[in-house]
Each structure stands twice: as structure tokens, then as C-alpha cells.
Structure 1
Amino acid sequence: MVLGDLRDLRPVTRPSTAELIAEQIRSAIVRGTLVPGAQLGEAELAAHFEVSRGPLREAMQRLLSEGLLYSIRNRGIFVAELTFDDVVDIYRSRRVIEGGALELLLDGRREHTWRELGTAIEAMRDAAHRGDAAGVSDGDQRFHEILVESAGSPRLVRAARTLLVETRMCLGALQTTYPDLHRQVDEHVVLRDAIRSGEADDVRRLLAEHLHDTVSRLRERQDADGVITSRSRA
């Protein structure tokens, strides 16, 4: 059988060691295992992952470029610390990215998106029944990942990825800004149903209000408890 000209085809690639290391460190930052301001020792991490320093440094460089780590000359590499101004900027950026994704999925991808969002809703609902705030936040993050993925734009997905990780960093040990976990689920149910059949302007408003309200709740907690850490890189 003649396959034709294969010159434009690329070999199938697997994740590199650096990519796998970066994903594990990224996940540890999200979970709070690596706390804001924590210093990452190159020798210790290389020994932990049982790798040479080459792929480890490549992984760290990826996370530096994503803004999840920062470097201080002659001192080392640290997990990023976020100020409240950072939080506002993160959510402002999310409104742009997720709003752009929403415009794309409203144009013929509503039913598909509604179906895909169902798994995140169920995960959130199950976690809420267990009183598992971290589990609800995991489902919340997955909801917004699916929303962006459903737009069919790889570039939007890449742009949203770091913002969602930074969102979890903002919450930190707080895990959620909602006083009632079931209210957090219900708000996402309303948004999901609107994506399926609501007026376009109503869906846009719900998404914008949803992201804005989170910042307002964080501001209230910040004023009361000082939840969001201050950046110190001196």
C-alpha cells in the first residue's frame, strides 16, 4: 500500500523528563505542599527525582517562565508569593481568557460544553457532600479548564493553564472563598445551564460576575485575616 508523501508528518512524542518534573512541582505548588516563598534546592530535588541536574534545571526554567517560581541572584529559586494586586491581575486576565473562550463556544459548541462540564459538577457535588473544600476547589478548577478547552483553541488553553494554577496559589490553605460549599456548586450549576441555553448576554454577565465575586470575597478575607501573602524578594 502506498501511503504517499510523509515528509510533513512528525514522530509521536512522549513527555520529556523535564516536562514530568515540572508537572509534579506544579502540582505540589497547587496542593500547597510547596508553600509560597519556599526555596527549592537543586541538589535535593535532583536526588528526590533521581535525575541529573540537566532536566531538573530545564523543568525549573519552565516554571520560572510561567511565573510560578522566581529567582534571586546568589540566593536561589523560590516558590512565587502573590500580593493582592497579583490576585486582581490574575482574575482580570482570567476574565479576558475565559470570556474569549465563551465567545467561541457560544457559536455552536453549547451542548458539547454543557455535557463536558457535567463531570466537574458531579465531582464538586460529591466533594461538597463530604465537606471536602479542597475537592470542591479541584472540581471548580476543572470546570474552568473544561470551559476553555471546549472553545477548541490550544492557545487559550495554554494561556489559561498558568492562571488557574495561580488561582489555587491565591487560595492557599483557605481552599475556597465560599462560606457554604453547596453554594459554590450551585453557582457553577447555574453557569453551566446558562451556557447550554441562556441568552448570550446573560451567560457573559454570569461568568463576569462569578470571577468578580471571587475577588470580592478574597478582598474581604484579606482585610479580615491577611490571607494573601506579601511578596518579599529583597
Structure 2
Amino acid sequence: MLDINELFKEDYSVLEDARLAAADDRLTADVCREKLWAVAKNYQRLIRESYRLISRSDRAERELNRMNEQLQQLAVRLEYEATHDPLTAVFNRSAIINHINQGLTTGHVALILLDIDHFKRINDEYGHPMGDRVICALVARIRRAVPQSAAIGRVGGEEFTIVLPKARVEEAMITASYIHSSLNASPLEVLPQQLVTASFGVSLGHKDSDFETLYSTADTALYHAKKRGRNQVALHEDFFRPQVKMGLSSENVQH
């Protein structure tokens, strides 16, 4: 432990000499000047030392602030990388699972499961770099078609989810149909020579359900969409009502 008295021992000694000199009438002017000069030198040294310590403290504070800022930036980056798909910048599978499970604790959640039709053919014919560009372009198309409250996730190579918190089945079907119509209306910009289509499965998870149950029902609906010829939207049979299937068009979608 630092002893303050020991640290300033020399300064105390000089001050004591000066005090004694001031009280001694017998000392000559030269001796008094000598004592005063000693006090002045020590005072100058203390000023320099104080300035040095303050400067060091300021530098240390600036460095600490810089390191804290870097740590905060690193934490944000690591959090982002842990929750987002590196190719498309949408949520990854684990983040979507958490998102759905959290949503189901407070209410119902609609889920759209989307799978790109014949994606392997695109990779085989045009190469994997083109396949990656197709995926990114399709995600951009999805972003323009879904409500701001939707959470988009990539849960497989060419499989995506659109999570709609507190949405009704009808709203989820309209959103899925809008994306479907958008993909069929024009080719993706990166592959203008052909349409890239997708199959859709739609389901609804009720409060206190879980991701696995909701995903399973949406996946079953997706399976039926593929079985019927792909490039279409299918609703899980548990939620089928005639009015859900009637009158779905892109004009009904609200953003």
C-alpha cells in the first residue's frame, strides 16, 4: 500500500527547513534566500509531476473510453453474427426459433415457410455463385412484399420463413400470395432469362405453443404445395376454411 508520507518525505523536509528558517531571526538573507529557493524548486517539481500525472490520467481515461467503445462495437457485431445469416443478412435459424417462441408466449404467430423451386437446377446450370445471388435477390423481393412487423429468416439452404406476430391466417395467406405473385410477375434481376418460383406453406401457432409444432404444421402445408406441382401457396388443413382460400390477390395486401 502506498505511504503518502513517504511519497512526500522530501517535500515535507524542505517545508520544515523553510518554516524553521522563517522563525529564526539569526539567519542571514543569503540563507533565507537559499531556503526559499529550495521551496521554489520543490514546488516546480510538484507542478511538473502533477501535470505529468494529470496527463497520464487523461491518456488513460481516453484509452479506457476507446477500449470500451471497441468492446461495445465488438459485442454488437458478435450479437449480429450470432443471429443473422451471413449471406442474406436475415435472421438465422436459431434467431427465428427464439423469435417465434418469444412471440408464442404472448399471443399467436403466423408462419410462412417458403422453399425455392428446383434450386438445385439453378446451382447446377449456373453455378453456386449465381445461386447465392438468386437467394439474395429473392430475399430482397420478399422484403418488399412483407409488412414491417414481419421477421424474415433463412432456416435452410433455399428455405425461408416469414414470421407474422399476432397475424390472422387470412393475413398470412394474403402475404404469402403476394410474394408468390411477385415472383411470378417478373424474373429476378440477377437471372432475367427465367422465372424463379417458390412453394409456400402457411400455418398458425397459438399462444403457449412452440416453434417445433408451428414449423411442423407449416412444413406439412409446404409438402402439399410441392406435391400439387410446386409454385403455389398451401394452408395447413387444421386452419382451412373456404373463406380463407377465396379472393386472395396481391391487391389485398397491406404494407
Question: Could you say which structure has the higher strand fraction?
Answer: 2
TM-score, normalized by length of structure 2? Answer: 0.24
Identify the structure with bigger relative contact order (alpha carbons < 8 Å, sequence gap 6+). Answer: 1
Question: Could you say which structure has the higher helix fraction?
Answer: 1
Larger Rg: 1 or 2? 2
